[in-house]
Structure formats: structure tokens, C-alpha cells
């Protein structure tokens, strides 16, 4: 028995059942302005913190979330340690989604870099800041596959593809946890939301999900499996019902799949109030039943705003509804996490050090590099980009061009607006007095029909300045654009329009942004369109009429600096789309990895009123480099199912400048026990090529890349078949080769 288990045993032998239930309970701790808090949460703003502090004093809290101030964390930790007879500290968890103080590009943007080192580095910076502040655990990465961009939480994940999703999930887990969460500057990673949350009916957040086993095993589960294999210390449940059973009460998900099949050894937390909601769903009879069902299913810790269902567990044990052994096994996992983190030895943080770590300029630098690598160049007619340094004047137009809060994106709370670099700031700093730069937002802030839960946080809800006259502003913006050498137009969704509770029924540019873009293009001034988004938007008009389009996502703290470097060619764009970009909302879901089905030659003509191909394919992204692929070879023409082939290709950069390219490999199985997708991503590598350079890139294709879950066998299979591979710069790559798999 190791020292951790021995210590856990010793603690377990002394805990009362009420204290055990407390260890399984996590409370939100935050005070909101009264006017906002009451309607939003149904709470007296002070009642909740008071209730939590009383529970801390009774020694009945396992964890807290939403506290980020190091001084406040120390104060609450002291209450916890002194309130608990055994001095058990609480775990502080938080949504460290794309940074704490230093805000990185949003997760979908990080995925668009296809750069696993940059992704890992981003979450290691986030972990360093979080741990310094006293936060031990991130509710991240979100590894939900998203194939319907009406679902706003698509921004938090890695897009549509399970292979890319799994690789990005692993990089994030490593970034947060390092090789051991007990080391300095590391925190526990909590992949979420298990499972299937991204497939909400109609893209409506929280609505039910109905997924076949085929899709679960082949598409939605692989990123979770990969995160678990990478050692993630926590997993979070999902709110909705999966195939009729609320995920947070699903024994199949949390015991059979996660523990028994995948061997997960960390602890599971429910999503916020998701245990209580088992009754709301009409699944559990009441709160006591909800607690019993969740804990029995394998949900170790309940995340609660107030009145946790797990408070009923001691009575449930007395009544025989759940055994003390079940409770004990859950508590052990929570205590193990605290011990692994070294919390018993040192539960407090050094507030002085926290200030220094949060201010580290290297973190802003890492965020800048990440923003550069995540931008995706969607169009560049006549090589309008990079901009000519000899340009005399520049118009920077659009409501998002100088909005610090929007530049950061959603799901951030501890940012510093003063250090946030907008697109306008970045351009101005870069060109100095050399180029005259004029700016106008052009249109006012578009509003949601209903506020989201995040709109109640101070400064989160965008608004026009007092006395804003949209018509006058529109005219001014167009005049500025008409007088400039080039117009940079920044459009997209305001950050409160994307994320949780931010589903949409259309993908249009909100408000009058398209009209503004059209008016600016009509002036004849060459236009560079920058898109600030976390999901594809309807860019059909722009794709036909605007020469250059760069997707900059919500690029974070150093975003504007990165964008200026990209615009002026200090660095070449190298991001690639992590999803198929639909032409219109009526096409969704649209994925590149569909099957051939009936009449595959008509794939682009499935609709009679619009092409049924995407506007931009999965994996797509242009560069200032010019890449050519050649010499695709497979080392062996035929292998047995358990063997591996090596695929190699040569990539050259014919441009007279350095640029990075993401080399992608796609695989297709021609026949088998199921009809397989036309193509599936099975390998990728980001390579940096100097002007005129050529590099050979190799990929191994073994059983793991060919195995899939077949409905015919209701199991994983490795078929004998002919396999086609394509390698290139996106999912429409044409360079192809094939090999055979024979025998059993
Ligand atoms: C979200 C989770 C998040 C939690 C805590 C929930 O509403 O679904 O992803 O971690 O809130 O903020």
C-alpha cells in the first residue's frame, strides 16, 4: 500500500457520514450585484456565501468554485481547515478555459493551430497562473465534438473531428497536469462534458441528445478516451439526457464505460446543479433519489449552487438506499486528488508570488504566438495580404475592431482589459506614424433577444456609448473607408453571443454588419475582412466579393499584436479549419467524413437550392507560402490487420519566404463490415519550411488508425480491405496512394 492510500484509509476511518457527504460536495462561492443575482439565480446575493461559510465551518465542504482572488482563497481555505476536525483542505476549481489572467485565443482557435506544442504551452501557462492564485483544478478541456454550429459551445472545443479532437484533448491535459499534478505550477484537468453534449437537438444548448452507439464510439467518445489515457484527474458530467437517460445519472457512462472499460482512476464531478436536475428532468423522484442515483452511477462530487442533493446521502445510507461502501469509494477518490496535489502539506498560496506570476510578460508572449498560429486565412485574391508596408493610409472599420472585451472572447473572468490589445491597437502600434490609421465602428452593438447567464458579470454585456447615432456612424465609417488605401473590416459575433446559453437559429452576421461590409466594399477601396468568431458564420457574400478574409477568432490578450504581425507579413498564417464551414445554416450539420451513400457523384447536389458542399472544407487554410506535395508512397503494398504501414510524402515551399504548413493525412476503407467515411483524418504534422525548402513527412498507419466500432458486430473491428490515403493541405487533398490489408 502506498503512502497516499494509507493516509486516505486513516482519514476515512475517522470521517462521519455527514463529513463524507461534505467531501463529495462542491459549492459555487460568489457574490453578485443584488439586482442581477436575484432574477438569474433566485438568490439573495449574500445568502449563498453565508451558507457556504457555515458549511465550511461545519467541515462539510469538499470543494469550492468561482473564487480566483488569492487572498480570498486563503481566507476560505483557513475556514475550511479550521472548520474540519481532520483539517482536510478544500479543492478550488474554476473554469480555466483559455487562460486565467493571460487570455489565450478561444479553444476552437487553439485547435485551428493544429499545433499541439502551442496548445500544450497555452494550458501550461493557464495552469501556472491558476495554481499561483490558489486554483487546483480546471474544468477543462471541453472535448465535446461539435458538428452543429448553432450550438454556441462549439467555441469551447476542437470542432467536428474525433482524431483532431483527441490529439488536442491530450495536449491540453498535458499542459494542465504536466507529468504529475503534484509538481509546482500544475493543476488537475477535467475533460467535459461526458458524454455527447455537443449533439444537442437543433443545436439548442441543454436539449436532449440522441446518438447511436456507432456515433458515440467512433466520433463522440474518442477525445474522452484519449484524455483519460493521458491521465486526466477529473471528468465532468453533462447536463442533458443521452438517449433518454440524464447523463449525470448514467451508470453506463460513469461506471461501465469510464471506470470499468477505460480504467479511469480520477474523480467525477457533476456539471453545475446537474445532480439536483435529475429530478427536474423527471428522472429522479426527488432530491434524495437524485443524490442516490448520481452517486450510485459513479458521480463522485456534486457541483451545487445551493441545497446539494448529496446532503441527503447520510439519510439515504441510514435508509439503506445506498451503501456506505459506495459513498466511501467516492470519498476516497476526492481525498486522493487532494493528497496528490500536495494540499495537505501546503493548502495556502503566496499572494505576493501570485501577483508576480500573473504579471509574467512571457505569458503574454505565449498568447501572442498562439494567436498568430491559430488565425486561418480563408481567401487572398491577388495576394492582397500581406499588406504593403508602403501603404499611406488604413481604415479600420467595424464594431469589434477596438472592443477589448470582445477581443478576449467568452468564458473569461479574471482578465485585465488595460493590457488587452485590440486589432486597432495592434495595427496602430505596428505602423506608428508611418501610416495614417483611422477608425470607426460603423454600426452599433447587436443584442440578444434574451440575456445569457454570463451577461450578469460586470462589463460583460456589450453596449453602445451614450448618444450613439448608428446612421451617422455608418456614413462616417464608409467615408473613412473611401478615403483610405486599404480598409480592414472586423466583423463577427459579440462575445456574449457565443459560448454557453448562446445557441442561434441562424449564422448571419448579427446586426447591420453585412450591410456595413457591403457599403465599404462598394467604395472600391481594397478590403481585408477579419472575422471574430467561435463558429462559422454565413460568409457567402464575402467569399465572392471581398478579396482577403482572415479568421482571427477571439484572439485574446495579445490578439491585436498577432493580427498586425499577420497583416503585415512578419509571420504567415498557418491555421486550418477544425470544422467544415457551411454556406448556410440550412446545411448543418455538414461534415467532411460522411459516407459515400447512394449516388456519391451527386454529393454536391443534394439540395436543389444551394450547393451541398461546404463554403470552406475541413482542414482548409491558406498561407503566404506556396506548398507543393509530391512523392506519396506507402512502404508496403499489403499487410495483415495487426501490422503498420508507413506513408511518406515530400512537401516543398516554393515561395520566397518562410511559412508553416499543416500536412494532413486522410484514410478511406473501401469495403468492410460497415460503409466507412469517404475520408477520415488519421495523421497531421505542422512543419515550418524555409523559402524553397523541401521536407519529407512520415506517418504510421497501424491498427489504431484503422480500427472502428461496427454496428454489424456491435464491437471494434479491423477489416481486411483496400485502403486509400490522401495527403495534402486540407480534406480535399488529391495526392493519393493505396494499400491492402489481408487475412484475419
Ligand atoms: C458549464 C460547465 C462549467 C460549469 C461551472 C456549467 O454551466 O456547463 O462547463 O464548468 O458551469 O462554471
Q: Per residue in 232-291, pLDDT tens?
A: 999 999 999 999 999 999 999 999 999 999 999 999 999 999 999 999 999 999 999 999
- Find the 449 Cα to ligand 1 centroid distance in Å: 22
Q: What per-residue string of b and e applies to 672-691 under the rule 16 or more CB within 10 Å gives b?
A: bbbebbbbbbbbbbbbebee
Spatial contact of 11 and 88, defined as CB atoms under 8 Å apart: yes
Number of helices (H) and strands (E) in the chain: give both, helices first.
24, 26
- Annotated catalytic, 271? yes
- Residue with CA nearest ligand 1 atom 7: 272
272 Cα–ligand 1 center, Å = 6
pLDDT in tens, 119-152: 999 999 999 999 999 999 999 999 999 999 999 9
Q: By the 8 A CB rule, do 327 and 295 touch? A: yes
3-class secondary-structure state, position 636: coil
As a whole number of angstroms, the distance between CA 504 and CA 623 comes to 31
Kindly report the protein residue whose alpha carbon is nearest to atom 6 of ligand 1. Answer: 272
Residue bearing the CA closest to ligand 1, atom 12: 95
Find residue 492's DSSP bridge partners: 532
- From the number of C-beta atoms within 10 Å of its C-beta (0-12, 13-18, 19+), residue 630 rates as exposed
In sequence order, the β-bridge partners of residue 489 are: 397, 529
What residue ranges line ligand 1, CB within 6 angstroms? 95, 139, 192, 271-272, 500
**Does the pLDDT at position 31 exceed 80?**
no
Residue 325 scores a pLDDT above 70: yes
pLDDT confidence bin for 39, thresholds 50/70/90 = low
Cα–ligand 1 centroid distance for 82 (angstroms)? 29
Pocket test residue of 63, 95, 194 for ligand 1, highest count of atoms within 8 A of CB:
95
Check residue 698 and give its pLDDT: 98
- Phi and psi, residue 514, nearest 5°: -65, -40
Q: Averaged over 468-497, what is the pLDDT?
A: 97
The pLDDT of residue 42 is 58
Q: Which residues contact 443 (CB under 8 A, 6 or more apart)?
A: 398, 399, 470, 473, 474, 477, 511, 512, 513, 515, 516
| Percent of the chain clearing pLDDT 90 (strictly above) | 94
Query: In a 3-state reduction of DSSP, which class is residue 665?
Result: strand
In a 13 Å sphere around the CA of 102, the CA atoms on its Cβ side amount to: 29
Q: What is the 3-state secondary structure (H, E, C) of 445-507?
A: CCCCCCCCHHHHCCCCCCCCCCCCCHHHHHHHHHHHHHHCCEEEEEEECCHHHCCCCCCCCCC
**CB count in 10 Å sphere of residue 609:** 6
Rounded distance from Cα 457 to ligand 1 centre (Å): 15
Active-site residue (options: 95, 148, 271, 719): 271
Contact (Cβ atoms closer than 8 angstroms) between residue 386 and residue 569: yes
Which atom number of ligand 1 is nearest to the Cα of residue 66? Answer: 12
Number of other residues whose CB lies within 10 A of the CB of residue 521:
20
pLDDT in tens, 521-547: 999 999 999 999 999 999 999 999 999
User: Is-contact 406 400, C-beta < 8 A?
Assistant: yes
- Classify the C-alpha dihedral 426-432-433-435 as positive or negative: negative
Compute the distance between CA of residue 641 and CA of residue 742 in angstroms, rounded to an integer: 7
Amino acid at each position: 500500500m502506498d503512502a497516499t492510500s494509507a493516509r486516505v484509509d486513516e482519514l476515512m476511518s475517522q470521517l462521519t457520514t455527514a463529513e463524507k457527504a461534505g467531501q463529495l460536495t462542491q459549492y459555487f462561492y460568489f457574490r453578485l450585484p443584488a439586482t442581477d443575482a436575484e432574477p438569474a439565480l433566485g438568490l439573495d446575493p449574500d445568502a449563498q456565501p453565508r451558507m457556504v461559510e457555515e458549511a465550511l465551518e461545519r467541515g462539510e465542504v469538499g470543494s469550492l468554485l468561482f473564487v480566483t482572488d488569492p487572498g480570498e482563497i486563503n481566507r476560505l481555505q483557513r475556514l475550511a481547515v479550521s472548520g474540519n476536525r481532520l483539517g482536510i483542505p478544500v479543492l478550488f476549481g474554476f473554469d480555466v478555459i483559455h487562460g486565467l489572467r493571460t487570455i489565450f485565443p478561444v479553444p476552437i482557435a487553439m485547435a485551428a493551430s493544429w499545433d499541439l506544442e502551442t496548445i500544450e504551452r497555452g494550458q501550461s501557462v493557464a495552469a501556472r497562473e491558476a495554481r499561483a492564485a490558489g486554483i487546483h483544478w480546471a474544468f477543462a478541456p471541453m472535448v465535446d465534438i461539435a458538428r452543429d454550429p448553432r450550438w454556441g459551445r462549439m467555441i469551447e472545443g476542437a470542432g467536428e473531428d474525433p482524431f483532431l479532437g483527441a490529439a488536442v484533448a491530450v495536449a491540453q491535459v498535458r499542459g494542465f497536469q504536466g507529468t504529475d499534478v503534484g509538481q509546482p505550477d500544475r493543476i488537475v484537468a477535467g475533460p467535459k462534458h461526458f458524454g455527447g453534449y455537443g449533439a444537442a437537438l437543433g443545436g439548442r444548448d441543454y436539449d436532449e441528445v440522441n446518438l447511436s452507439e456507432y456515433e458515440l464510439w467512433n466520433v463522440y467518445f474518442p477525445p474522452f478516451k484519449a484524455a483519460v489515457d493521458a491521465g486526466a484527474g477529473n471528468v465532468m458530467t453533462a447536463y442533458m439526457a443521452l438517449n433518454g437517460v440524464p447523463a449525470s445519472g448514467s451508470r453506463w457512462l460513469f461506471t461501465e464505460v469510464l471506470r470499468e472499460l477505460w480504467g479511469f482512476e480520477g474523480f467525477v464531478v457533476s456539471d453545475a446543479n446537474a445532480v439536483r436536475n435529475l429530478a427536474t428532468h423527471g428522472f429522479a423522484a426527488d432530491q434524495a433519489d437524485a443524490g442516490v442515483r448520481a452517486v450510485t452511477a459513479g458521480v463522485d462530487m456534486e457541483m451545487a449552487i445551493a441545497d446539494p442533493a448529496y446532503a441527503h446521502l447520510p439519510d439515504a445510507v441510514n435508509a439503506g438506499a445506498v451503501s456506505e461502501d459506495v459513498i466511501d469509494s467516492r470519498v476516497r477518490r476526492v481525498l486522493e486528488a487532494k493528497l496528490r496535489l500536495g494540499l495537505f502539506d501546503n493548502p495556502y498560496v503566496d499572494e505576493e508570488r501570485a501577483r508576480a506570476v500573473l504579471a509574467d510578460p512571457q505569458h503574454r508572449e505565449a498568447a501572442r504566438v498562439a494567436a498568430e498560429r491559430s488565425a486561418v486565412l480563408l481567401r487572398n485574391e491577388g495576394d492582397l495580404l500581406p499588406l504593403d508596408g508602403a501603404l499611406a493610409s488604413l481604415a479600420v472599420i467595424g464594431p469589434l475592431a477596438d472592443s477589448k472585451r470582445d477581443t478576449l472572447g467568452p468564458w473569461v473572468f479574471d482578465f485585465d482589459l488595460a493590457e488587452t490589445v485590440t486589432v486597432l491597437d495592434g495595427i496602430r502600434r505596428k505602423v506608428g506614424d508611418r501610416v495614417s490609421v483611422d477608425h470607426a465602428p460603423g454600426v452599433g452593438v447587436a443584442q440578444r433577444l434574451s440575456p445569457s447567464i454570463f451577461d450578469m458579470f460586470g462589463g460583460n454585456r456589450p453596449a453602445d456609448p451614450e448618444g450613439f447615432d448608428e446612421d451617422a456612424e455608418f456614413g462616417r465609417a464608409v467615408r473613412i473607408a473611401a478615403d483610405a488605401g486599404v480598409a480592414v473590416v472586423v466583423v463577427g459575433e459579440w462575445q456574449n453571443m457565443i459560448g454557453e446559453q448562446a445557441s442561434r437559429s441562424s449564422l448571419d452576421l448579427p446586426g447591420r454588419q453585412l450591410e456595413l461590409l457591403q457599403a465599404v466594399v462598394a467604395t472600391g477601396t481594397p478590403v481585408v475582412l477579419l472575422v471574430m468568431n467561435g463558429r462559422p458564420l454565413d460568409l457567402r457574400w464575402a467569399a465572392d466579393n471581398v478579396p482577403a478574409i482572415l479568421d482571427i477568432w477571439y484572439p485574446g490578450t495579445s490578439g491585436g499584436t498577432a493580427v498586425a504581425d499577420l497583416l503585415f507579413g512578419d509571420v504567415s498564417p498557418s491555421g486550418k479549419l477544425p470544422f467544415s464551414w457551411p454556406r448556410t445554416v440550412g446545411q448543418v450539420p455538414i461534415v467532411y467524413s460522411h459516407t459515400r451513400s447512394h449516388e456519391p457523384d451527386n454529393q454536391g447536389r443534394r439540395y436543389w437550392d444551394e450547393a451541398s458542399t461546404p463554403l470552406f472544407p475541413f482542414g482548409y487554410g491558406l498561407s503566404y507560402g506556396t506548398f507543393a506535395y509530391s512523392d506519396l508512397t506507402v512502404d508496403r503494398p499489403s499487410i495483415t490487420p495487426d501490422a503498420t504501414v508507413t506513408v511518406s510524402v515530400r512537401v516543398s515551399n516554393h515561395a520566397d519566404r518562410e511559412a508553416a504548413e499543416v500536412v494532413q493525412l486522410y484514410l478511406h476503407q473501401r469495403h468492410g463490415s460497415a460503409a466507412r467515411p469517404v475520408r477520415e483524418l488519421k495523421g497531421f504534422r505542422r512543419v515550418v519550411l524555409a523559402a524553397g525548402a523541401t521536407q519529407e513527412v512520415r506517418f504510421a498507419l497501424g491498427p489504431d488508425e484503422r480500427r472502428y466500432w461496427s454496428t454489424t458486430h456491435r464491437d471494434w473491428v479491423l477489416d481486411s480491405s483496400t485502403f486509400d490515403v490522401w495527403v495534402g493541405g486540407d480534406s480535399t487533398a488529391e495526392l493519393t496512394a493505396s494499400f491492402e490489408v489481408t487475412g484475419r
